[in-house]
Amino acid sequence: MSDELTFLTYTILLTALMWVPYILNQISVQGLVNAVGYQENPAPLAGWAQRLKSAHYNAVENLVLFAPLVIMVEIMQISSAATAISCMVFFIARIVHALSYTFAIPWVRTLSFAVSFFAIIGIAFQVLTA
């Protein structure tokens, strides 16, 4: 498996697992029955859990951009050091983004988002110039 597909798989797994901590918080705050039901006015999540939930939504939104580009790199057979490094940088930036968002570290959150965005642009550039 290429480095690009490896980092795509890691990114998918990260995104797939990000919901677990904030759902556990929801269960602890609201109780299991209320957490799986539909409440008109549910008890609010802890601040960190709400931020992780927002980071998860952001990760899903960015995965929609990242995954097709990686697949295009594979289909076009244009894997290179530039695409592999961009995928690695994207994945690491997404980890940093999730953690800094969860723990309310604003500058790091913004910078890690920007780094992941420019990694996507780097992959797109490689696709467009192939």
Q: For each of the chain's 130 residues, which pLDDT tens digit applies?
A: 999 999 999 999 999 999 999 999 999 999 998 888 888 888 899 999 999 999 999 999 999 999 999 999 999 999 999 999 999 999 999 999 999 999 999 899 999 999 999 999 999 999 999 9
CB 56, CB 18: distance < 8 Å? yes
Q: What per-residue confidence (pLDDT) applies to 37?
A: 84
Instruction: Give CA–CA dist 95/11, Å, rounded.
Output: 9
* 111-124 burial: b if 16+ Cβ within 10 Å, else e: ebbebbeebbebbb
The answer to whether position 78 is within a domain reads yes
The answer to whether position 81 is within a domain reads yes
Measured in degrees and rounded to the nearest 5, phi and psi for residue 80 equal -150, 175
Number of domains present in the structure of the chain: 1
Q: What per-residue confidence (pLDDT) applies to 36?
A: 85
101: domain range? 3-16+46-128
Read off the tokens for 114: 């920007």
The answer to whether position 36 is within a domain reads no
Instruction: Give CA–CA dist 123/128, Å, rounded.
Output: 9
